[in-house]
Structure 1
């Protein structure tokens, strides 16, 4: 009996083996017939049985039953199921699927796909920023996202950037976006308390190589779930996670140099030209205003020159008493000190990253360590950073998953901020204060080193040993996420995070330093500790009914607590320059504060789509903040949105050229909180004394009705894909009304205060955004693609308290560099001042348009004008906002070689040139050196069509007026980044057990085309150029190796 059973089973097995066959074939693109490499081919219903196509699209699959069904799939193509029906050769043409091409994007409290998401969101992937030599990821995003302006505030190592998403939304509260890392809102912005001395960008604590993607949420439908913090947009950062498979070790190293600035920046006239201007100032003053003869004026001017520079080894003469005959003599004739060579260096940037990642079916991990060092172009500026990250995920059984993300960083920045008020601003000194006739040594005369030159200039070589300034920042950010699958369609998710930033600022002046002489030396230590706890829990439901009704819903809550602990100690009358510590000071002073705020929220979202054609969503969040009083503490923020996938309609079948077409629209409300934690309460200060006894006074007046600033945003967009997604893009219009804006309103003087904040202002931002991407060519191993972003935003003040105008000054400059006005109907960056009418051709005098009813001195271009600026009236001169801004890029690849170019541009608008009053003045500040532009374009009897007036050493005020004289077109385009890379052949690498290796070159800011060429056109968010260190041309070489 056993033998019969054995024979029967053997026959069955043989027959089964004979029934199975080998299937081969080729998978190609249905449009152009090109092979589809690495497509997945599996037998339906048999788990783990399948293969992939090779590089030429060929596949071979053994042991395929004759009645099997093969499933062909690949990213960007529609999945196809094809019955075998006994065949041994099956060729397949894959059809592109616009829905399948959708990239997964991280949105508020979850994920979505770009094709199904009803809000306005743009994504930047890690590949787009990985080669840019930057300390903070924001600096690498310029021009990549429509509607977002990124401005680099300085070329200093460790400097901060400013980001504006869809315009200006507030007058007195924050205009910065909310940052979210791995699902948690985090601390952002400048965390130092040293004012003009130094700044610290807390976002530079994140290693850009740890970032997987960056999503920018721009409208209310995308960001309303973040409620009161999301009116200015949300930047969602997702860090890298491990993937299932063997451990992957990746090492990346890059070294770069910045030998020069990216553009000319107030290039100075030569030493001979400077002396000529100096002589001309006093010669003109003597002849024109003091009634001197040319001989007397020449003698007076020469006396000034010899008095100033004889001790430096120079003498001066003018044989025929004119400027043209001026000569420089003396022991140092023809020798001039190169201050730029002393104050600046070739900056060196180096970065090293090591990461290990991997995972199994139950767990994954990603860990990294990085070190970055940037020696800035200024010899006193440097930045270094160490970061470590650990991301770990673990499944516990079938229903629970834990995820832990920890980031630790420590950074150190040295050097002062770029302030006009500080003598340590080397860019200012080299361009305006330090003559080539100045020598830092004793000149071989036996005299001591010169500490100061005249009224303005200081000797940096002398003072470099008499001060120090540094800022150290340490950050720990950790979050723990627990996900519980209660049912297949019901998931509970809870997040707890801790974000702690500690900054220590140190500032020391010896008794010999010009800032420490009056106090016999000083030292200050500032400690700032900011911590934030966030806890959120959400319940997510998602289910499909009847195969076409897709429903999802989310409900949850969130609480956040933010605390700041600040302490300052200052010591003066230092006994020695050897110890730079407060403990040794003869006189002490201190201050401190401890404050914070809390936020409690309830949130919900519902989404529905029918048959992947029609989508609708709604969200609601209710926030309560301790920053507001009991009667206005709670605010409601919500959104509604919908979209229509037009390409899924049957009437689109005949339009084969259109592969995707979607219309979406949204409307919603976001909010912004006041910056003050206690604006609704009266506060008492104990900083005052009475008769040397402790005393107190009311420092702020209460406004119990202080409330949220609210933004009402509508958005409509058309997204499209043509030629099987070879060309994709979107056209988007938005309108954002910001209401209840905080504004200073007048109070009765009997209160003891002049103004108080009230919710009365309104601003409107509306604009048009365009994003385009196209695959220009795909031919064998060669690909060529290009992209474009373009944004037009009009930002207008629509309501002010009592309709009264508000004059204000740019807050980033300690010298009040730009004057603006808020006036109803005008731009939020309306530049305000006198309208300069140019230079009178025959006299070289300044002219001003009157812009009032006063009697004119003359007519200029048919308009009343005057010689005296005091008779003229100020008006709105122009708009610092550009008319159009964005970026364009192109990528080419052939086999293992790739070339990427990324440009940014700005068209329209004006830049206010604050340093113009320093380097292009009319002659009064004769101790200062002047720019080459001032020398070449000044008025003289031989240059009557000049841009600048005649130089006279008595005109102090004209050049100092806030006027259109210092306004210039802001148009420019810049090659922000170019990358040339080569991936080494895998067959070569496999011999040395390396899975991948890539070498690359990156150039940053290598080419600039600007309408005004005197200074770097990439300026701050207020459209103002100050004495900030310009950005430089950087050349970086790197290697990226995986094992």
Structure 2
């Protein structure tokens, strides 16, 4: 690694020494100077930065040039002005020139001393301080200080610095003691990245959200998506899992599809990502992130723009000496929330209640049968011991009180009271180190970095490690320009099977920990893992009066979750090479050709091993299991080639910009899988040590061919119009509909350029926007339009015949299959007020997605049950608002921002008959429904109206009195759920007709706000993120509020129904091991409000004064501390209100045991040499 860094540094320093210049051509007579500047920008891409009054942009000039070097041209252009220039990476800076002739000043002279600082109170090093009209001048030192001698009393002192407004003060002005330079907003006008180009932000006519590297300062995030949280209106970023290295989910303006993919298209440096894993990229390499939200801005990406487009731009080199930067931090992570569970004594009380109630119910049933047979009923009492209970109930083990809880019921002290969450969670370390070097000349500019990230998980034995590097190079030689961007990375992830149901194939560690009874230990006395709760253990023995030993299962079988995490192996190694090379030719100043070739090569291997030390489930004595191992490999090759022509022309006040081009992209995916068992030892976990019993290989590919064009028109910055179109041909769609056309148009009107707005002096800028666009959704299976064939084994001939392989149709072809299309209208405005101290924006949109891809039933005579067709329609409409302010009060700089978004989702059509789409959740009777007039994937469940308080209410209930079949509710008793007769037919059928739409995972609105403060080198930042009105289907409640006494429960179970006189909360059912009146069916009892407000990040930093750094050759140094996810305000009972076990649009919003989020506290440093 050291050699690698050294090589990068040496190479970058070498290329830094090269010097060259770009060329310009023009022929102007009697034009404004600003027009010459605009032409320079068009031909070179360099913005001319200047301040008034140093440069007068309205000055009339005449000048000619034919492929003249830019530096020579500027010398001629500025020859008659007291102006000098400096060419930077993206700008040409103009500043006041030191005069060559000395002008005599009258009067006395004096010495003047002072300090020059910026708006943040930091010294400005190298600022020019000069007696105007003379050669008497100097530049400020490392502390921003200066001393001028022999200054005439009537002289004017000019203080200037590149990128700042020039300040001119008379020599007798006391303000010279401390001069504050302000950034020149005209010089530093912001540009945003749009598809296949850049555009001035003030001229954008579409809905685009932007985030700069400076906005992410001080946040120790591991991925780009984390930095976007709460900052972009209309962009919902969700972190549903806290597993190290996990990806975040991004949705732009709601969900517009039912079966196709919902993720946006990610484009890095102009190359669309084939693999969406953003965690392979170093966040310190990112310069900006733009999100194209409306269809007009995204239409240039055609068939892949329906879910929005995220454009990521990495850092480039800048002209000047090499700058070396180090960014690093160390942190520690703790689980952000623990769920309050019953302790051992509370648990024992619940178990006792459940078994006693079961015994009472069972004896009532036994005696009813005896009475029906004219026999004497049996006497019973809850004080009966286990032997009597087993005799009375014919060995019903659900009625016995486990002997292991008896000491707890007696209140004995010093007993085992295991907090299983404390056992699986830990304080996890985290560190990141990134070194970059950048610099260059007018000809060659470079940026290179290396990065190391190590993140332990808050669940034991889980971690993520990343090694990445980047090299960006741009070279200009006359009319030619070329460059490359290369980013190789390697990641290693050690995962634990944390999510899902308990004991799900050796996983469900979260659920298993919450299920595990606190009366059992983690370890045996010999230090080995205890599996006492794996059922049929000696602690469940009951000795009958005749001496017979009966064994039963007192607890639901649960593997030791700590053992599951520590003993199993699940390692994924992945490598990625992502990058592109480009070439550009300027045939004439207005016309440029560009070719770009990009690659995304990804490979991974995943190895798992489950040792024999995890015993066979639910078996007496916990015998060892048979070890199992799997090996998976995956490879992905993706390449992109595109060619474009750009033409820019200005005539009078009319500016035109045209783009035309074509692009082609290809991807191939390959995977292998193998399963082995029969290992004779746990020490060799590779497949060759076992017997491979099954495996497969797969391969698939797709291709895309496209043409695109865009025309932009701008009249004096007042009227703006953009039109674009893209045609995509994709292999994924039917041969009759392989091509799709995606047009867009947008317009803008800057009202502040109109005369009637001039009287509103507080309005600096006001722009109205309107747009329309059509985009598509490319995210469907590669062969969805083609009939697939599956290979199966058949036994042909007699009973002794061997199985032979044969092929059979798997899916029905549809040659008419076409794109899902989204048509969106957007109107909005952008404004800045009070000298740009206040900015705000508003967008209103209406989006219709049609030709949805749905599986439609077909006649069985075809040999198929369904076929994929284009038949549905979904609408999303909403509003987005953002406001921000930047203020300076003395040495204090502060800013605030706020954004809020509301999206309404509605299904409009579902094909002929508009039949509901019913989808199953992760447990039985958990249903989702997609219905016309409702949002996609709504929860479809029975409604709980409360708990029966007494027997009279039970006797009067519909299910007990009027239902001929009772639907499994005949054994309902006081303390059980009371269900609603939804359809009003006087019969409860909670498994079918008496279900209703009771909520949805989609929020009513999302919002974010934050603040930054800076004072004399101290900076503070805070980011809030909020979601309001979404519901969560908390399936964990199915078990942790089951009150069966066979597993641990939420602390709320203490407030359960116990009697008519002690009804508890009135919504918390009685304890019972078996007879529960359908209390366990998934219902509104499992639906919770998922609204939350989260403090996403708090950071505090200090930038050391320059005077402290001179001796150690540092340009800047900042130290900081930061806390990620410190607080979440929510009523949700689970770990994380952003949770979702599933990502499909039709079954989203489940919580069934998901890796919780971490609270990360870190200390870091940013150094620049």
Q: Which residue of 2 aligns with 1:327?
A: 410
**In the alignment, structure 1 residue 188 sits paired with structure 2 residue 188:** no
Alignment partner of 1:486 is 2:596: no
CA distance in 1: counterparts of 2:310 and 2:681, whole angstroms: 49
Alpha-carbon deviations, 1:537-579, whole Å to 9, x = none?
1110111112x11111000010000110111122222233222
Structure 2: distance between partners of 1:39 and 1:720: 35
Contact 1:841 1:945 in 2 (8 A): no
Structure 1 length-normalised TM: 0.86
- 1:467 corresponds to which of 552, 564, 568: 568
Alignment of 1:28-39 (within 5 A): none
Distance 2:976 2:161 in 1: 77
Secondary structure of the corresponding residue to residue 385 of structure 2:
helix
The one of 258, 262, 266 equivalent to 2:336 is 262
CA distance in 1, matches of 2:527, 2:658: 84
- 1:725 is aligned to 836
Pairing partner for 1:833 from 931, 934, 941:
941
**Displacement of 1:660:** 0.9
Once the two structures are superposed, the pairs formed by residues 393-404 of structure 1 within 5 Å of their partners are: 393-396=474-477, 398-404=478-484
Residue 618 of structure 1 corresponds to: 723
Distance 1:445 1:604, change over 3 A: closer
2:497 matches 1:429? no
Query: What is the rounded CA distance, in whole Å, between the counterparts of 2:1007 and 2:820 in structure 1?
Result: 28
Which position in structure 2 is the counterpart of 1:681?
A: 786
Instruction: Check conservation: 1:21, 1:62, Cα contact below 8 A.
Output: no
Change (3 A) 1:844 1:401: same
Quote how far apart the aligned CAs of 1:42 are: 12
Is 1:520 the counterpart of 2:626? The answer is: yes
CA distance in 2, matches of 1:93, 1:468: 60
Partner of 2:205: 118
Query: Residue 603 of structure 1 is aligned with which of 708, 712, 723?
Result: 708
Indicate how the Cα distance of structure 1 residues 728 and 634 shifts in structure 2: closer, same or farther if over 3 A, else same: same
Distance 2:136 2:939 in 1: 69
The CA distance in 1 between the partners of 2:188 and 2:324, in whole Å, is 29
Partner of 1:320: none
1:340-390 deviations in Å (ceiling 9; x for gaps): 333221111111111111111211111111111111111121111111111
Calculate the TM-score normalised by the size of structure 2.
0.77
Query: What pairs up with 1:520-919 in 2 under 5 angstroms?
Result: 520-546=626-652, 548-690=653-795, 691-775=802-886, 777-809=887-919, 814-815=922-923, 819-842=927-950, 843-855=974-986, 869=990, 873-919=994-1040
SS of corresponding position for 1:295: coil
SS of match in other structure, 1:17: coil
> C-alpha separation between the residues in 2 aligned to 1:1032 and 1:446?
29
Alignment CA distance shift 1:451-1:1011 (3 Å): closer
Against the structure 1 CA distance between its residues 537 and 61, is the aligned structure 2 distance closer, same or farther, given a 3 Å change threshold?
farther
CA contact (8 A) 1:851 1:872 kept: yes
Q: Distance in 1 between matches of 2:1116 and 2:500?
A: 46
The Cα shift of 1:1015 comes to: 4.0
The equivalences for 1:3-82 within 5 A come to: 17-18=101-102
1:845 Cα deviation after fit: 2.3
Residue 476 of structure 1: aligned partner: 577
* CA–CA separation in structure 2 for the residues paired with 1:669 and 1:487: 34
| CA distance in 2: counterparts of 1:244 and 1:271, whole angstroms | 67
With 747-756 and 633-642 compared, the bigger mean Cα shift is at 747-756
Mapped to 1, the partners of 2:114 and 2:645 lie a distance apart of 42
Structure 1 distance, partners of 2:1131, 2:582, is 51
How far did 1:715 drift? Answer: 0.5
Contact 1:854 1:871 in 2 (8 A): no
| Equivalent pair of 2:663/2:707 in contact (CA under 8 Å) | yes
Task: Specify the SS of the correspondent of 2:994.
Answer: coil
Match for 1:151 among 228, 235, 238? 238
Contact map agreement 2:282 2:451 (CA 8 A) in 1: yes
| Deviates further, 456-465 or 591-600 | 456-465
Q: 1:49 to 1:875 in 2, by over 3 A?
A: farther
Q: What is the CA-CA distance between 1:99 and the residue it aligns to?
A: 6.5
Q: Give, in angstroms, the shift of residue 444 of structure 1.
A: 7.6
Q: Which has the larger radius of gyration?
A: 2
Corresponding residue of 2:54: none
Moved more, 878-887 or 384-393: 878-887
SS in structure 2 of the partner of residue 899 of structure 1: strand
**Between 753-762 and 280-289, the greater mean CA deviation after superposition:** 280-289
90-99 or 729-738, larger mean C-alpha shift: 90-99
Q: Note closer, same or farther for the CA distance 1:870–1:395 as it changes in structure 2 (3 Å cut).
A: closer
Distance in 2 of aligned mates of 1:249 and 1:733: 45
Match of 1:354 among 412, 435, 442: 435
Structure 2 contact 745–773 (Cα < 8 Å) conserved: yes
Q: Secondary structure of 2:810's match?
A: strand
Cα displacement (A) at 1:587? 3.9
Distance 1:447 1:610 in 2: 76
Residues 58, 1026 of structure 1: CA spacing in aligned structure 2 closer, same or farther, 3 A cutoff?
farther
- Unpaired runs of 5+ residues, structure 1, are 1-14, 190-201, 318-325, 857-865
- In structure 2, what is the equivalent of residue 221 of structure 1? 296
**Displacement of 1:419 after TM fit?**
2.3
Q: Which residue of 1 aligns with 2:603?
A: 502
Q: Secondary structure at the match of 1:225?
A: helix
What is the CA distance between 1:978 and its match in structure 2? 0.3
Shift of residue 815 of structure 1? 4.3
Deviation sequence 1:894-922 (CA, Å, 0-9, x none): 0110010000011123222111101011x
Partner of 2:39: none
Distance 2:438 2:468 in 1: 16
Q: Deviations over 1:620-676 (max 9, x none)?
A: 111101111221001001100010111122222211111110001100100012521
| Alpha-carbon contact 2:520-2:532 (below 8 Å) kept | no
Whether the 8 Å contact between 1:791 and 1:884 is mirrored in structure 2 is yes
How many angstroms apart in 2 are the aligned matches of 1:1039 and 1:136? Answer: 19
Q: Is 1:1002 equivalent to 2:1122 in the alignment? A: yes
Quick one: distance in 2 between partners of 1:708 and 1:98? 44
Contact kept, 8 Å, 2:122 with 2:1016, in 1: the verdict is: no
Distance in 2 (CA, whole Å) between partners of 1:640 and 1:507 is 52
Question: Structure 1's 56 and 880: CA in aligned 2 closer, same or farther, altered over 3 A?
Answer: same
Contact persistence 2:1034–2:1134 (CA under 8 A): no
Q: Which residue of 1 aligns with 2:255?
A: 168
2:614–2:624 CA contact under 8 A, matched in 1: no
In structure 2, C-alpha distance between the alignment counterparts of 1:455 and 1:158, rounded to whole Å: 33
TM-superposition CA deviations, 1:907-961 (whole Å, max 9, x none) = 123222111101011x34x321111022235454423543211122224672442
Aligned partner of residue 887 in structure 1, secondary structure: strand
Q: Which range moved further: 172-181 or 679-688? A: 679-688
Q: CA RMSD in A?
A: 3.9
Say which of 352, 359, 369 aligns to 1:286.
359
Cα deviation for residue 95 of structure 1 reads 11
Distance in 2 between residues matched to 1:127 and 1:931, nearest whole Å: 44
- Deviations 1:689-746 (CA, angstroms, capped at 9, x unpaired): 4441121111111011000000001111111111011110101101110010101110
1:1037 and 2:1120 are equivalent in the alignment: no
1:341 equivalenced with 2:442 (yes/no): no
Whole-Å separation in 1 of the counterparts to 2:1116 and 2:722:
43
Mapping of 1:943-982 within 5 angstroms?
943-955=1063-1075, 958-982=1078-1102
Contact 1:25 1:90 in 2 (8 A): no
State how far apart, in whole Å, the 2-side matches of 1:817 and 1:491 are. Answer: 62
User: In structure 1, what is the Cα distance between the partners aligned to 2:656 and 2:114?
Assistant: 35
- Aligned to 2:326, the other structure's residue is in SS state strand
Provide the C-alpha distance between the structure 2 equivalents of 1:575 and 1:328, rounded to a whole number of angstroms: 47
